[in-house]
Structure 1
Amino acid sequence: MSQTNHDTPLVSVRDLKIGAVTDAKRKVEIIKGVDFDIAPGEILALIGESGSGKTTIALSLMGHTRPGCSINGGRIRVGNNNVTAMTTRQRAAMRGTEVSYVPQSAAAAFNPSQRIMDQVIEISTIHNLMPKAEARAKAVELFRALALPNPDTIGDRYPHQVSGGQLQRLSAAMALIGDPRLVIFDEPTTALDVTTQIEVLRAFKSAMAAGGCAGVYVSHDLAVVAQIADRIVVLRGGEVQEVGTSEQILNAPQNAYTKELLAAFEPAGRTPQPVQASDRKKPILEVTNLHAGYGPIRNGAPVAKILKDVNFQLEPGRNLGVIGESGSGKSTLARAIAGILPPYRGSVLVDGRELKPDLASRSKEDLRRTQIVFQLADTALNPGHSIANIIGRPLTFYKGLRGKARDARVIELLDMVHLPANMRHRLPSELSGGQKQRVNLARALAAEPELILCDEITSALDTVVAAAILELLKELQSELGLSYMFISHDLSTVEAICDDVLVMHKGVVVEALPASKMSECATHPYSRLLISSIPKLDTGWLASLEQDPDLIAQFSDR
């Protein structure tokens, strides 16, 4: 990381106050007197949970606020620019040249109908920075610096013709082409698989160092921040909790909230449940020779075949993790077991009873026994229904409960997931992400299932909230005797709650491992690549990481 001994900061933020107006026209202060500096060439990370103000502060460095928000006090200086005093036109002239932005979703930053090169060099045209031929040559050099394949020709493609990791690096090229002094990275690796994330982080670091840029890196992932940031600002509720070097924050935090963030990053592991040959029980879930896919059926199989000959068993009271990168077939497996996507070959047995392939053909009792909780609580909860109605519907469907008996059980279920009874009157839009996911769990528990399929249920949540959900799952398991199949690309999550793990790649189970000894027991090259790619809370981890480039080329979509 860059060493900065400059006396004059490139960025100086003093007593920054940002306010918002709610839908009810109430004024609230969301950033409450924040101070920090960024030296030339330094990368500063802003970390904290959702709602802590990370992105709001980062955007304010470009003079930008979200609709309904405004900068109400304080001063922001970037270089010689007093951002808080600039006109709208002056701020527009600064963006892309002095300060630029790399978004969380690169796909949203690109126009699908335009070639990549034309979009990357657009800023140089808007600001008349250089002739078009020179801009194209500079873009190719940036593609090379960002370790993109075929740097001379990749710009001729359209956005849909490159992978997610490549598109994220191309959005960095777009941000860097105007030679900005400050680049804002807004959670730019959150949506990427772990092996792709490493490549992107390395590319960001080298390109920033080569250009001598300063950076602001917004994230709630402490291990990612450890690899890229020189200093860290810890935020909570729009206020700075602690500022320090990455080493100091990660190894000797002073603030109680920082310590909580660090503790939540590595949740306590589950004590492995030993199974003796003498006390083996009938599996709660048995999957044999399972094949599933998408699209029209031709010659007895769908056009897009995803799952290929998947076999495993899950015993009562034990938890099975399914890991792998995007496109590996993890969620397809959950959908096939649940009957949402009927498999075209193979069988699924729950408690020894074979299930019909499709959901509509299954009995009410079969449906009750196996429940699924989805990744995005936002889309899984009907926005027009109250929480009482959402949890109450399965109570009526499975248990025939109505009226006061149903209301009483709704309150019990809310208590079970640690939510107050009065929350039953609210709509999903009035709840936080973590609260919505608890409602999702309460709805699944209403059926009194034996098996819950958890499809990436903590991946959209902040570290602290996700850790609390994992603790809740463990508590419910011990109280209710549940079994979980836990689908995730986050290996620390799987280690925290699972006994055993299946590693999937391109629809095939390549290896089955004990969760507590994944690193030691993994023998398949893909398993080893996946496990070695998980960032550690160590500032030197990325620099010292050595991986076989042939292995990466074989298994990763770059």
Structure 2
Amino acid sequence: MAELLEIRNLRIEATIWPPGEAARDVPIVDDISFTLARGKVIGLIGESGAGKSTIGLAALGYGRGGVRITGGEVRLDGQDILSLGRGGLRSVRGARVAYVAQSAAAAFNPAHRIGDQVIEAAIRHGILDRAAARRRAAHLFEVLGLPDPERFGARYPHQVSGGQLQRAMTAMALLPGPELVVFDEPTTALDVTTQIDVLAAIKAAIAETGTAAIYVTHDLAVVAQVADDIMVLRQGRMVEHGPAEKIITDPEAAYTRRLVTVRTAEGAEAEDQSDRLLDIDGVTARYGELTVLSDVTMHLPRGQTLAVVGESGSGKSTLARVVTGLLPPAGGRVFYRGRPLPPALRHRTRDDLRAIQMISQMADTAMNPRHTVAQIIGRPLRFYFGLRSRRRRDRVAELLHQIELDPSLAHRYPAELSGGQKQRVAIARALAAEPEIILCDEPTSALDPLVADGILKLLLRLQAETGTSYLFITHDIAIVRAIADSVAVLHRGRVVRFGPKREVLAPPFDDYTDLLLESVPELRTGWLESVLRTRRMGSAGH
């Protein structure tokens, strides 16, 4: 089979400025080689900062800010990508090669309609005329499970959920019919039921078009469903490379075995429901005329974790916005320590603001790109506690240690960090306020399993030490089992199941909760096909 992509001895360096030392160049990708045939998928997996996304971008002839490709070859169908000038790269990108980014929110222009952005590349490269491109977009929207596919493109990015926007970005990459697509965590923002549809759509598109793909992820169970080969990376170097089945069932390297076997322990069950810190009572929320939450009621005891699960667009993140005061509810109330909170953020006291912090799903859009890590984490320290100068710097260093980042990163800007590092900075910023409640909106979705495991253990330890309560929004049932005391299942803006974890995750299930639990990826090849067969049989039975 002809090799479409050849990467040989790739070396990528970055310049760092350690405090008090001279600038120096360090390798962040070192001597990476692999080939990829048409219609095949290679999965790149490893810890945050291992070089996965950097290698994927290098396949497009791109080195993100602060890095340089200093050695090796990248050939697409025999053509040396690294030797192309700007004009040559423009003719290739979007037409022959495409990229699906980790953060859809950062990939779309908020001032333009989604459909216009999805079809832009195909039109600019002369691949399709506008009418044909719109028909192709509607077809991809339907394949990717987006609502009202004929009119979905008329919406603006802020009018859809994070998961819907991620699928729209997948459509944007696939629309011109590229030869190579780099998928950088394309299902990170998706709930488990939608994830199955997107994975199936990606597999189908690759099979039908002969497109080759690089699939970057931290989730071995996901990559097992789409990849033919897997390369395991650590600190910019290859740890192990081979067929997906071999890597998953019989890994040779100790690091790979850790990735395969890492499991989080079951969290403690909710026992005492009497000491309620947060009550959500009959909350209804709307965006204009669109009702997103309907009569939502649940509660969070002191020192415990309430996990809120449901599909993209079910209202999970909207619920967090209501609790924080970013979106005043159209009906119902939110109570903190037994007293009603002012619905709008601007009417809340400084202590109310400090007590309830939020870790956003999209770290890219939650941090000012012109501020350093020290400024980002230091702002709540100054605002809530008046810390200045050396005391603030020392506390920033302590917080960076807590979330397993080197304090030297305090001088970096968000663009100089990996996706996982940015998410950990967002966690540190929330911890800086010493809150009583943290609203966690998919805080570990950008992290590899080992780092995510460490973050979850950190959150549990902090909870045990300080009594902090978590409202934890996630689509990962494994995380629910590991960290939750109680669980609320949202479906189309309504609570369909709520109670202690041991009750919510035990049969008999309602149809929607049953679907959620059946959709959790298993670490075995062929799982996706078996689930799809079961779904088809169930549909035929009805």
TM-score range, shorter chain: 0.7 to 0.9
Structure 1 letter corresponding to 2:315: G
In the alignment, is the contact (CA less than 8 A) between 1:320 and 1:485 conserved in 2?
A: yes
- Percent same amino acid among aligned pairs? 38
2:200 to 202, 208, 221: 202
What do residues 188-239 of structure 1 show as CA deviations (whole Å, max 9, x unaligned)?
3333343333222212212222333432222223222111001101122221
Does residue 289 of structure 1 match 2:282?
yes
Query: In the superposition, relative to structure 1, how do residues 247 and 344 fare at CA in structure 2: closer, same or farther (>3 Å)?
Result: same
Q: Which residue of 2 aligns with 1:32?
A: 30
Once the 2 structures are TM-superposed, how far is the Cα of residue 117 of structure 1 from its aligned partner? 9.1
Does residue 14 of structure 1 match 2:11?
no
Q: Which residue of 1 aligns with 2:168?
A: 167
Distance 2:342 2:232 in 1: 51
In the alignment, is the contact (CA less than 8 A) between 2:40 and 2:206 conserved in 1?
A: no
Once the 2 structures are TM-superposed, how far is the Cα of residue 438 of structure 1 from its aligned partner? 4.1
Once the 2 structures are TM-superposed, how far is the Cα of residue 64 of structure 1 from its aligned partner? 3.5
Does residue 473 of structure 1 match 2:459?
yes
Query: In the superposition, relative to structure 1, how do residues 240 and 159 fare at CA in structure 2: closer, same or farther (>3 Å)?
Result: farther
Q: Which residue of 1 aligns with 2:402?
A: 417
Q: Which residue of 1 aligns with 2:381?
A: 392
Once the 2 structures are TM-superposed, how far is the Cα of residue 324 of structure 1 from its aligned partner? 1.8
Structure 1 letter corresponding to 2:462: L
In the alignment, is the contact (CA less than 8 A) between 2:138 and 2:150 conserved in 1?
A: no
Distance 1:428 1:141 in 2: 36
Structure 1 letter corresponding to 2:69: I
Query: In the superposition, relative to structure 1, how do residues 164 and 313 fare at CA in structure 2: closer, same or farther (>3 Å)?
Result: closer
1:315 to 301, 311, 317: 301
Distance 1:238 1:542 in 2: 30
Q: Which residue of 2 aligns with 1:239?
A: 237
Structure 1 letter corresponding to 2:11: K
Distance 1:284 1:197 in 2: 33
Query: In the superposition, relative to structure 1, how do residues 70 and 284 fare at CA in structure 2: closer, same or farther (>3 Å)?
Result: closer
Matched ranges for 1:435-474 at <5 A: 435-445=424-434, 449=436, 451-474=437-460
Higher RCO, 1 vs 2 (CA within 8 Å, ≥6 residues apart): 2
2:339 to 338, 353, 360: 353
Structure 2 letter corresponding to 1:468: G
Q: Which residue of 2 aligns with 1:326?
A: 312
1:147 to 140, 143, 157: 143
Distance 1:381 1:83 in 2: 33
Distance 1:241 1:146 in 2: 39
Q: Which residue of 2 aligns with 1:227?
A: 225
Q: Which residue of 2 aligns with 1:122?
A: 123
Larger radius of gyration: 1
In the alignment, is the contact (CA less than 8 A) between 1:16 and 1:34 conserved in 2?
A: yes
Distance 1:261 1:249 in 2: 10
Once the 2 structures are TM-superposed, how far is the Cα of residue 381 of structure 1 from its aligned partner? 5.8
SS at match of 1:335: helix
Distance 2:282 2:192 in 1: 29
What do residues 514-551 of structure 1 show as CA deviations (whole Å, max 9, x unaligned)?
43565543623222223322322221110100465799
RMSD over aligned Cα atoms:
4.3
Structure 2 letter corresponding to 1:287: I
What TM-score, normalized to structure 2?
0.79
What do residues 126-172 of structure 1 show as CA deviations (whole Å, max 9, x unaligned)?
6xxxx979x9599859948983689xx95996575995466345335
In the alignment, is the contact (CA less than 8 A) between 1:291 and 1:306 conserved in 2?
A: yes
Query: In the superposition, relative to structure 1, how do residues 282 and 250 fare at CA in structure 2: closer, same or farther (>3 Å)?
Result: same
The answer to which of 326-335 and 102-111 deviates more is 102-111
In the alignment, is the contact (CA less than 8 A) between 1:102 and 1:184 conserved in 2?
A: yes
Query: In the superposition, relative to structure 1, how do residues 125 and 437 fare at CA in structure 2: closer, same or farther (>3 Å)?
Result: closer
The answer to which of 227-236 and 360-369 deviates more is 360-369
Structure 1 unaligned regions, length at least 5: 1-5, 296-302, 553-558
1:499 to 460, 485, 488: 485
The answer to which of 235-244 and 311-320 deviates more is 311-320
Query: In the superposition, relative to structure 1, how do residues 173 and 441 fare at CA in structure 2: closer, same or farther (>3 Å)?
Result: closer
Structure 2 letter corresponding to 1:417: Q
Distance 1:452 1:306 in 2: 22
SS at match of 1:331: helix
1:103 to 100, 118, 123: 100
Distance 1:415 1:155 in 2: 45
In the alignment, is the contact (CA less than 8 A) between 2:181 and 2:214 conserved in 1?
A: yes
What TM-score, normalized to structure 1?
0.77
Structure 1 letter corresponding to 2:305: N
SS at match of 1:545: helix
